[in-house]
Structure 1
Amino acid sequence: MTGENTFSPSDQAFSANSNLHITIQEGSQNSEQLLENENNDLENDCEQLFEIEGNEPESERDDTSDQLFDIQSNDHENDGGDINEHLFEIEGNDHESSRDDRTIIDYQNGGSQEKAYPPPVVGLEFDSYDDAYNYYNCYAKELGFAIRVKSSWTKRNSKEKRGAVLCCNCEGFKTIKDANSRKKETRTGCLAMIRLRLVESNRWRVDEVKLEHNHLFDPERAQNSKSHKRMDSGAKRKMEPTVDVEVRTIKLYRTPVVDAVGYGSSNSNEGETNNHVDRSKRLKLKNGDARAIYKYFCRVQLTDPNFFYVIDLNDEGYSRNVFWIDSRSRAAYNYFGDVVSFETTCLSNNYEIPLVAFVGVNHHGQTILLGCGLLADETLETYIWLFRAWLTCMSGRPPQTIITNQCKAMQSALAEVFPRAHHRLSSSHVMQSILENMGAIQEYEAFQMILSRTVYDSIKVDEFELAWEHMIQRFGIRDHEFIQTLYDDREQWVPVYSKDTFFAVMPNFQKGESTNPFFDGYVHQQTSLEEFLDVYDVVLEKKRQEEARNDFESRELTPMLRTRCYYELQLSKFYTKDVFIKFQDEVVMMSSCFSITQVHTNGPIVTYMIKEREGEEIMRDNNRNFEVMYDKAGAEVRCMCSCFNLNGYLCRHALCILNYNGVEEIPFQYILSRWRKDFKRLYVPDLGSNNVDITNPVQWFDHLYRRAMQVVQEGMISQDHYMVSWQAFKESLNKVRLVADKHV
């Protein structure tokens, strides 16, 4: 539409819907021609691919939504006393035809008796179109401007109105044919408007709002406008929007039309009511942030039908927490969801944006994004809501290991939502916090070196306990409260206690390494939310280009070998470049291992002691002993350093024992598929099941849609992939039509 600079999902939903007809009541010829051409193109494209029934009842379209999850959330009432349970029913329809899914929020009546007309906000509802029109007209009259109907939508083959845009009378400019008219120019291109839509409850909801005018108000001229002259006594009564303070049930659909941040009481004592609102329970946003979030979500959903997001509202209807994830991240979790790091750097350090991120590791050892959130606080209730939303989005499959920083509320939430997952604290984060808290200690450099050796070089629990005791005695920190607290939690962050936990080469548990936040270099202390959303897609695209480049180099380039050991040559054919380099270091370090001694035999299981020469003095000796068990029957090997359990590739000690026993190739069970260069994966989440009820048409649609989307994603890889996919679609459609012809 002309004059519309801001995207609205309703534009797409109405114009692309074959059941709706758009009529322009007031507008330029250019806008009419543009809409007519757009609808013709859409209808022609659809007719070429599919046969669509044009008169399908709208109720049938709405009933195809599949419920994704129900989340129980506890919210405090205004008086801060009782706790109410709020049911978040997240219903999503992953089908392309459901672009007009929307958020429904049910409120109890608040009995508003205000005398003034409050400004319109997204989410206000009215019993009829006339009520909505009269409300906006009265609001405009009080401010001193006039309104008109810019456009309206009616259902095809029916005169029933389905939507409308009411705009300021100064919207747009003169048309070409009126340019030479002697009539005074009154239009200034003003963008002030509201968009209305008829929703399932047969109420009219405000779908979009623009309050800013680019001209001065003229009450005298507005008084004589057509819209105000047509006001009769019945229309002059104050129209009460059906918005209330207390939220009971919130239903969030895939494409929310409610700007949750804009909600509030429409009572005349609004200022008084807001004084009692606990602002700590609200997401801290600046002017324009809410609209930026809303526009971004709507824009992404047009190109990514599997994009998912949830907004958590407090009792007053203000947004409290937000979570979102795109389809590529949801698909990546199916392959790389074994280890997840939960980043809270921005939230914990009081950044401008309270950003949190779920981060995983792909087959190159490169961090990948698995979801983002904006949180109002760091309370137990907030973390439970976020983790449940994320888990439900991932089809209820928790990670094997989740790594976080130190936060008691977060740990309690993890124990409740992920009871079977291994929860570990980031060793690098804990070490950094220790050094920051002990900055005033004497012999700081010596303390730093001994602490690192104690934490990272201990290969047995008893060894760590003795080294820790020696450290706290030497530096006199036995009674230090912070050190004692960390010691009590040692099983969650000291590597020697996590030998059976897989970390997928996460640098959080590697000596001398630390992981940078996923958005490091793009998000700073003062970065605004709008600035973040502007670079969000840029960051993801750079990460994906880096992954594509690593895929190409791993497939096409042959790594340079550093030894004559066949183990190195063997895995150079399987592993990606970056992971192979880490394994290659282990092969090179085999030369430092010597003096293999058999110390115990139990049937086919033999225990060896292998010495390793190290470059620096540790535990009063340059040599260290490592115990390695080898099962001759099953060709299984395990070293006490647990390198394979931690990182997913064998250590130098295990390789020496395999070589000592004449094993020419690394056994297949020690070549993880997640590190392979030929690793095949899809970029759309497989949310369905192959078990389809053949009597249920809804399940037919779900199953076919998800499988078709996988073909679409694969078809976007290259031009050749596109041509093959397009040919397959045409052949499939012809075969389906032949089946239909047989039943005629």
Structure 2
Amino acid sequence: MAFSSEKEVYNFFISYAKKKGFGVTKKSVKKVDDGQLKYYSLTCSKFGKSRSNAKRSFNPKPSSKTGCKAKINVMVNDEGSFIISRANLEHNHGLSPSKSQFFRCNKAMDSHVKKRLEVNDEAGISLSKNFQSLVVEAGGYENLPFTERDCRNYIAKARKLRLGAGDAEALCDYFFRMQQRNPSFFYIIDMDEEGRLRNVFWADPRSIVAYESFGDVISFDTTYLTNRYNMPFAPFVGVNQHGQTMLLGCGLLSNEDIKTYIWLFSSWLNCMSGHYPKAIITDQCKAIKAAVAEVFPHSRHRFCLWHIMRKIPKKLGGLAKYKEVKKILKSAVYESVKVYEFEQTWGKMIKDFNLERNEWLNSLYDVRSYWVPAYIKNTFWAGMSTTQRSESVNAFFDGYVGAQTSLKQFVEQYDNALKSKIENENKADFASYNSSIPMITRFFFEKQFQEAYTNENFKMFQEEIQDMMYCNLDFDSVDGSISKFRVKDYFRGKDGRFKQQVVYDVCFNEVECDIKCSCCMFEFKGILCRHVVKVLIEKNVKEVPHRYILDRWRKDIKRRHTFIKSCCDDFDSSEKKLRYTKLCSKFYKVAVVGVESKENYEFLLNCIDDALDRIMKRPNSKGIDLNHVSMEPRMETNEGHQEISTIPARLLSPLKARAKGRPPSKRKQSTIEKIVEKKKRSKKKVNPNYNGVINDFDLNLDLSQRGEVQHFNCYGGFKETLV
């Protein structure tokens, strides 16, 4: 094949690579003496081999090089034509066309985008909002030829909504449109007897299917103030194969009592086809605890450890020996490997400091099996011990959801969060699929985990290998095929330094190659601990059984939810948005030329007017008018709850929610709410003589010492006459 320019060759090969799913880079450039290009190669981005010195490093960087030989050789003849002299199109790795936009060669920013970013920046719009506005306009991340890092943007200001109907009606209409786009979209709206919106739950199809793979552990938290109705945001959150947060549905609640939580959990369980989660993490709330026991009787329930431990200063700060009690209490919770160790330390603390009548400590001890790590470490929690996953979802809305946010605006912010989570998952999939973390040892079982696990989980396993050097192994006893070892390790403090030595028991069955450690890290997190690795090396185990490589952490499994596109994407208008973006880019180039002279300006205006007249005279230029079809509501009443799945004739907006079950001080406020509250407090600081009446009067001040009189216009209200 022959081309007229280097750019033409490059665009041709880039187009081919994007469709096939690989990146392109330029190699082997040769020029003649006069500097003219004579020969070069366009290769796959995985061409060559990694030259990392990571074998001696404990912090290796991922490498995408696989030694791929795919390339084309381009020669330039005497006439200046660019000719492909040789082509090798065979790759030694998998291809991913759906993720081609992440390759560096496919990233580009035109002048229109750059100009728009500059204008928005001058207008005071944050850079993160700039990027998200481009994503919304383009119809999705996959339609943008650049990423967040390329333009240093992240998210857009929430779309301005034109709500013709009431807040609740607009919300219901939004849900109905989502269900029209994808019938699997699930939502339930709970109303009271007056037809007023009370509670809302919804889940998109992608989240519903993702629950099949990652529904074993769920985090649930409601400590977030959401909108003008003070309705708590209640997300159901899971963890994917990369350790990232996944939204698995959420609700907006008008109350926080047992009845409301039972309704929400039942709605979520119905959405997930009745499949219970194996474990669920929540806040220490009596209403939530009772609702979980009612709706999820077979799920292992635990309280957020962080929420409990942060109460120590408030609950025990008045004790005479508070610092000593706090130190022993934390030691009992965090350093107890076995249950009896916790019992002994706790009992000794209560006795030594005469805390038998402390109600808070007694209440914690009664529910110790819900929060103490020694009691719950035998259950798989995907490495979670707190509800920080739910709080990280809440943090996404911080700064965008305030006291005046409508329900419809809030739901659209949820859509933005969902799109962002999907994009982050795609990026992580791309990174794990196209690059691997080099090994730091020559043990074959490390190779097993490198090939099977995602990069993030393999890093955690490598951390255990690194910390293995601080462990000392002692043989304990043998009983038939079962060998017992004692591994001495060091407990680390907050500063990372070794605090004290801890002994763990490891049992190894040579016949079944079954191994178990008393730290229960594999049962808790799904990653083999350093103590187990120490024994595997001692017993010369070259390959670990596949049961120790969990499917939920693997990168080579195609999960069903990745094939489902989020229904929040505007399928009908995505192509139109792409055409609009391209036209705007062309028009901007025309405008740059047109403003150079008056002749150019008038000529282009005439051309545009002429083109517009010709388009409007075409028979299909005005489009098709669609008649609006209204639907009557279909309601089902169940113990005072009315649940709807179509647009009601009249749905009233909710009343302001009243928090129950927990103190209002636990509520988190967004950045916007904090600023507004601060301004309100500053306005209340007025003159003590202010009588509440604003008057406009003149003040004559006699400055006798200076021999002059000045006239002032004063605004305010005073009880006393100024002399």
TM score, norm. by length of structure 1: 0.50
Deviations 1:563-615 (A, max 9, x none): 4444333312211111111111111111111132122x333222222222456
Please state how far the C-alpha of 1:351 moved relative to its aligned partner: 8.2
Q: Say yes or no: does 1:519 pair with 2:394.
A: yes
Which of 310, 316, 327 matches 1:432? 310
Which of 628, 645, 648 matches 2:526? 648
Aligned to 2:184: 306
Aligned to 1:413: 291
- Describe how 1:338-349 pairs up with structure 2 within 5 A: 338-346=216-224
Deviations 1:146-179 (A, max 9, x none): xxxxxxxxxxxxxxxxxxxxxxxxxxxxxxxxxx
- Describe how 1:193-342 pairs up with structure 2 within 5 A: 288-342=166-220
RMSD of the alignment, in Å?
Answer: 3.4
Aligned to 2:513: 635
Other structure's SS at 1:358 match: strand
The 1:526/1:450 distance shift into structure 2, 3 A limit, reads farther
Other structure's SS at 2:465 match: helix
% identical equivalent positions? 41
Deviations 1:287-333 (A, max 9, x none): x4313422321332233321001122223332222111000100000
Please state how far the C-alpha of 1:339 moved relative to its aligned partner: 0.4
The 1:296/1:486 distance shift into structure 2, 3 A limit, reads same
Tell me which amino acid in the other structure corresponds to 1:488: D
The 1:351/1:485 distance shift into structure 2, 3 A limit, reads farther
Which of 231, 254, 258 matches 1:376? 254
Please state how far the C-alpha of 1:410 moved relative to its aligned partner: 1.8
Please state how far the C-alpha of 1:341 moved relative to its aligned partner: 0.9
Of the structure 1 ranges 608-617 and 458-467, higher mean CA displacement relative to structure 2 is found in 608-617
Other structure's SS at 2:310 match: helix
Q: Say yes or no: does 1:608 pair with 2:475.
A: no
Aligned to 1:42: none
Q: Distance in 2 between matches of 1:674 and 1:574?
A: 11
8 Å Cα contact 1:330-1:684 kept in structure 2: no
Tell me which amino acid in the other structure corresponds to 1:418: F
- Describe how 1:313-712 pairs up with structure 2 within 5 A: 313-346=191-224, 352-441=230-319, 447-473=325-351, 476-508=354-386, 516-523=391-398, 526=403, 528=405, 529-599=407-477, 601-614=478-491, 622-683=500-561
Q: Which has the higher contact order (CA 8 A, sep 6+)?
A: 2
Other structure's SS at 1:518 match: helix
8 Å Cα contact 1:458-1:496 kept in structure 2: yes
Q: Distance in 2 between matches of 1:491 and 1:349?
A: 36
8 Å Cα contact 2:249-2:268 kept in structure 1: yes
Deviations 1:243-292 (A, max 9, x none): xxxxxxxxxxxxxxxxxxxxxxxxxxxxxxxxxxxxxxxxxxxxx43134
Q: Distance in 2 between matches of 1:348 and 1:299?
A: 23
The 1:385/1:482 distance shift into structure 2, 3 A limit, reads same
8 Å Cα contact 2:185-2:204 kept in structure 1: yes
Q: Distance in 1 between matches of 2:195 and 2:529?
A: 55
Please state how far the C-alpha of 1:449 moved relative to its aligned partner: 4.2
Q: Distance in 2 between matches of 1:449 and 1:367?
A: 33
Other structure's SS at 2:275 match: coil
8 Å Cα contact 1:561-1:568 kept in structure 2: yes
Q: Distance in 2 between matches of 1:431 and 1:616?
A: 16
- Runs of at least 5 residues in structure 2 that lack an aligned partner in the other structure: 1-162, 576-723
Please state how far the C-alpha of 1:210 moved relative to its aligned partner: 5.9
Of the structure 1 ranges 330-339 and 350-359, higher mean CA displacement relative to structure 2 is found in 350-359
Q: Distance in 1 between matches of 2:431 and 2:338?
A: 39
Q: Distance in 2 between matches of 1:655 and 1:547?
A: 30
8 Å Cα contact 1:344-1:356 kept in structure 2: yes
Please state how far the C-alpha of 1:491 moved relative to its aligned partner: 0.3
Other structure's SS at 1:360 match: strand
8 Å Cα contact 1:508-1:515 kept in structure 2: no
8 Å Cα contact 1:354-1:376 kept in structure 2: yes
Please state how far the C-alpha of 1:429 moved relative to its aligned partner: 1.9
Other structure's SS at 1:683 match: helix
The 1:500/1:685 distance shift into structure 2, 3 A limit, reads farther
Tell me which amino acid in the other structure corresponds to 2:176: C
- Runs of at least 5 residues in structure 1 that lack an aligned partner in the other structure: 1-208, 212-287, 687-708, 720-744
Aligned to 1:276: none
Aligned to 1:148: none
Tell me which amino acid in the other structure corresponds to 2:360: F
8 Å Cα contact 1:351-1:525 kept in structure 2: no
Q: Distance in 2 between matches of 1:591 and 1:483?
A: 39
Tell me which amino acid in the other structure corresponds to 1:606: S
Aligned to 1:271: none
Q: Distance in 1 between matches of 2:318 and 2:244?
A: 36
Q: Distance in 1 between matches of 2:346 and 2:418?
A: 42
Tell me which amino acid in the other structure corresponds to 1:389: S
Please state how far the C-alpha of 1:562 moved relative to its aligned partner: 3.5
Q: Distance in 2 between matches of 1:566 and 1:441?
A: 55
Q: Distance in 2 between matches of 1:614 and 1:378?
A: 40
8 Å Cα contact 1:565-1:587 kept in structure 2: no
8 Å Cα contact 1:450-1:471 kept in structure 2: yes
Q: Distance in 1 between matches of 2:395 and 2:355?
A: 34
8 Å Cα contact 1:335-1:681 kept in structure 2: yes
Report the count of equivalent residues: 404
Of the structure 1 ranges 558-567 and 666-675, higher mean CA displacement relative to structure 2 is found in 558-567
Deviations 1:620-644 (A, max 9, x none): 9843211111111110100011101
Tell me which amino acid in the other structure corresponds to 2:427: R
Other structure's SS at 1:508 match: coil
Tell me which amino acid in the other structure corresponds to 2:486: M
Deviations 1:536-578 (A, max 9, x none): 1111111111111111111111214344444333312211111
Other structure's SS at 1:573 match: helix
Aligned to 2:23: none
The 1:470/1:531 distance shift into structure 2, 3 A limit, reads farther
8 Å Cα contact 1:353-1:527 kept in structure 2: no
Aligned to 2:614: none
Please state how far the C-alpha of 1:373 moved relative to its aligned partner: 0.8
Tell me which amino acid in the other structure corresponds to 2:468: M
Please state how far the C-alpha of 1:667 moved relative to its aligned partner: 1.7
8 Å Cα contact 2:452-2:555 kept in structure 1: yes
Other structure's SS at 2:486 match: strand
The 1:489/1:349 distance shift into structure 2, 3 A limit, reads farther
- Describe how 1:722-733 pairs up with structure 2 within 5 A: none
Tell me which amino acid in the other structure corresponds to 1:327: P
Please state how far the C-alpha of 1:472 moved relative to its aligned partner: 3.7
